């Protein structure tokens, strides 16, 4: 980390390491009926008929086949092999072996009754060196994926970048180099020219907060930098790459709705005191504003620029116009609130905040506070501050490490988490907010970045030794919800 970084969501904790013990098992293959509001049929009735219930994954987390059919290494291939970077030395070399089990996994998605599937396209499969040669075999894989979704009546929601930058581009500086934004523009054009005719919506980036701050300031994700100048460079290059990709997509696939997926933070002040409230506002600028303001207002936040403007890379004439092109939709990834207090220490750098305690002891097995109302207040705050298009909840879910017992995974904490957050989603729709869909994270247990395989977010349990898939209680509940919604 830097000398005095701001607060960030818990990445590791002793509680998360301990996991959780399996609770009482269900009768195998059944979903016990829920009385009252948790009844999935009753909840489904609160959503519009055309609402999309889906599941989500990302390429490096599930595909495996790291050296197959022309794919070249990404920064995560390199990072995960560095000692001490990923729990237990885990890598995505095999992951869920999705690349070799595509048809089986497509059948699994269909069996859950969902109408949408959110996935990412691996840049190192399409343009293995980041620039130059196009890999036809990589495109062939996504042809099969899209054709398989179409054959099963499932809408395809693609993401062009979910953190797997081609490793070769690090030679030029990776996301700190302006040239990477133009390499990304070309990759976006190549991918969408070939695949766009079967994609229902596309996002340029997934959670740039992670690939900027978590990767270049906090050192937790690849490439593991801990340098404010690198982070500031990555911030502007990433925003520029988003805008350039929007141009490219609209050139080659003008009928595909284009959006951006942001893990917006619900920033909550530790108290009603003026100092804590001001701290929360600064944290909002640092964690949300540096991504929302350029895209939806055409500028960076004033307080952020007052603190870091002289350390930002050159913002060339026309950059902000490129970044702020109109979007058709945006995606919200939400898991947990961020509670902050004022940091009065003299050496505190902007945003000068420190973490504040959670409001309750309810937390997931990764140590993140469970507080569904924060998702509702976050959406209301963002629509009050910005002129936003329609929204999809592109990721939401819980780490619940309940194990497999007698062929069943009774993950009741995750099931309750989904019910609480979907209820908030229904409330928002009832208030008139344009939320068009919800994607559960994740379809299946997978490689969870720096946490490796010890944290499980899936609706489907994966035995990493045998690759056997088992739908959990939460998956059965979600299937009942999606099936009821589909009529």
**Using an 8 Å Cβ cutoff, are 423 and 486 in contact?**
no
pTM for this entry: 0.94
- Which distant-in-sequence residues (6+ apart) come within 8 Å of 18 by Cβ? none
**Greatest CA separation for the chain:** 63
The predicted structure's pLDDT at residue 487: 84
The arithmetic mean of pLDDT across residues 235-244, rounded, is: 99
| pLDDT value at residue 22 | 29
Confidence of residue 17 (pLDDT cuts 50, 70, 90): very low
Query: What would the mean pLDDT of 453-457 be, rounded to a whole number?
Result: 98
207 among known catalytic residues? yes
Q: What is the pLDDT of residues 48-106, one digit of tens each?
A: 999 999 999 999 999 999 999 999 999 999 999 999 999 999 999 999 999 999 999 99
Q: Give percent above pLDDT 70 in the chain.
A: 92
Q: What average pLDDT score do residues 26-33 get?
A: 38
- Per-residue pLDDT band at 162 (split at 50, 70, 90): very high
E strand or H helix at 54, and its extent? strand 52-56
Catalytic residue among 207, 225, 369, 476: 207
266 has pLDDT over 60: yes
pLDDT, residue 36, reads: 58
Q: Let me know if 387 is a catalytic residue.
A: no
Residue 24 pLDDT more than 60? no
In the predicted model, what is the mean pLDDT of residues 173-194?
Answer: 98
Q: Which CATH class is domain 14-486?
A: alpha beta
Catalytic residue among 225, 369, 395, 476: 395
| Domain edges within the chain | 14-486
Residue 101 tokens, joined: 């089990």
| pLDDT tens sequence across 414-447 | 999 999 999 999 999 999 999 999 999 999 999 9
First CA to last CA distance, the chain: 50
Average pLDDT over residues 308-331: 98
Residue 3 has pLDDT above 80, yes or no: no
Rg (CA), the chain: 21
Instruction: Reply yes or no on whether the pLDDT at 166 is more than 80.
Output: yes
Mean pLDDT calculated for residue range 113-123: 99
Distance between CA atoms of 449 and 441, rounded to whole angstroms?
14
Return the H-helix or E-strand segment holding 339.
strand 338-342
In 3D space, the residue among 65, 173, 206 whose CA is nearest the CA of residue 124 turns out to be 65
User: If pLDDT is split at 50, 70 and 90, which confidence band does 382 have?
Assistant: very high
Q: In angstroms, how far is CA 329 from the centroid of its own chain? A: 15
Q: What is the mean pLDDT of residues 316-320?
A: 98
What's the confidence (pLDDT) of residue 37?
A: 60
- Which distant-in-sequence residues (6+ apart) come within 8 Å of 364 by Cβ? 335, 336, 370, 398, 399, 400, 413, 414, 417
Per-residue model confidence (pLDDT) at position 43:
97
Q: What mean pLDDT comes out for the span 331-341?
A: 98
Report the candidate in 440, 433, 223 with the shortest Cα–Cα distance to residue 333.
Answer: 440
Q: At residue 360, does pLDDT exceed 70? A: yes
Lowest mean pLDDT among 10-19, 211-220, 242-251, 273-282: 10-19
List the beta bridge partners of residue 423.
none
CA nearest to 180, candidates 194, 191, 166, 192: 166
Per-residue pLDDT averaged across 333-351, rounded? 97
Q: Does position 455 have pLDDT exceeding 90, yes or no?
A: yes
Torsion angle (degrees, nearest 10) of CA 116, 474, 382, 269: -160
Closest CA to 267 of 161, 323, 340: 340
Buried b (16+ CB within 10 A) or exposed e, 447-475: bbbbbbbbbbbbbbbbeeeebebbbbbbb
Write phi, then psi, for 55 (nearest 5 degrees): -130, 160
* pLDDT for 32 beyond 90: no
């Amino acid at each position: 980390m830097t000398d005095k970084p701001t607060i960030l969501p818990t990445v590791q904790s002793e509680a998360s390491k301990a996991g959780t013990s399996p609770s009482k098992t269900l009768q195998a293959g059944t979903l016990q009926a829920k009385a009252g509001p948790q009844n999935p049929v009753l909840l489904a009735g609160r959503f519009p008929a055309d609402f999309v219930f889906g599941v989500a994954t990302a390429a490096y987390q599930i595909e495996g086949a790291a050296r197959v059919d022309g794919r070249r290494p990404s920064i995560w291939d390199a990072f995960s092999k560095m000692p001490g970077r990923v729990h237990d030395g885990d890598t995505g070399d095999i992951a869920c072996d999705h690349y070799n089990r595509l048809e089986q996994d497509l059948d699994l998605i269909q069996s859950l009754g969902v109408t949408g599937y959110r996935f990412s396209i691996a840049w190192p499969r399409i343009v293995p060196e980041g620039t130059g040669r196009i890999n036809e075999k990589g495109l062939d894989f996504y042809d099969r994926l899209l054709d398989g979704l179409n054959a099963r009546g499932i809408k395809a929601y693609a993401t062009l970048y979910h953190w797997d930058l081609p490793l070769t581009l690090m030679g030029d500086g990776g996301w700190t180099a302006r040239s990477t934004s133009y390499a990304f523009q070309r990759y976006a054009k190549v991918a969408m020219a070939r695949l766009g005719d079967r994609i229902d919506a596309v996002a340029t980036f997934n959670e740039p907060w992670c690939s900027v701050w978590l990767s270049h300031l906090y050192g937790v994700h690849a490439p593991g930098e801990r340098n404010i100048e690198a982070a500031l460079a990555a911030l502007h290059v990433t925003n520029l790459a988003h805008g350039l990709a929007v141009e490219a997509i609209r050139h080659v696939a003008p009928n595909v709705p284009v959006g951006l997926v942001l893990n917006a933070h619900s920033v909550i002040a530790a108290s009603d005191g003026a100092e804590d409230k001001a701290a929360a506002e600064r944290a909002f600028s640092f964690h949300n504003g540096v991504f929302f303001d350029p895209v939806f207002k055409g500028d960076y936040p004033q307080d952020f620029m007052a603190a870091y403007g002289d350390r930002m890379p050159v913002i060339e004439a026309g950059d902000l116009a490129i970044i702020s092109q109109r979007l058709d939709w945006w995606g919200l990834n939400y898991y947990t609130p961020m509670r902050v207090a004022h940091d009065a220490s003299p050496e505190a750098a902007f945003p000068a905040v420190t973490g504040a305690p959670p409001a309750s002891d309810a937390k997931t097995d990764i140590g993140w506070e469970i507080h569904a109302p924060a998702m509702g207040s976050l959406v209301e705050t963002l629509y009050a501050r910005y002129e936003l298009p329609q929204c999809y909840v592109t990721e939401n879910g819980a780490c619940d490490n309940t194990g497999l017992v007698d062929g069943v995974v009774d993950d009741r904490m995750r099931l309750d988490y989904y019910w609480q957050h979907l209820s908030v989603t229904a409330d928002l729709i009832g208030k008139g907010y344009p939320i068009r869909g919800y994607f559960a994270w994740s379809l299946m247990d997978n490689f969870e970045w720096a946490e490796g395989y010890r944290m499980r977010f899936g609706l489907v349990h994966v035995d990493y030794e045998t690759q056997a898939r088992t739908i959990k209680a939460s998956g059965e509940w979600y299937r009942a919800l999606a099936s009821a919604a589909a009529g």
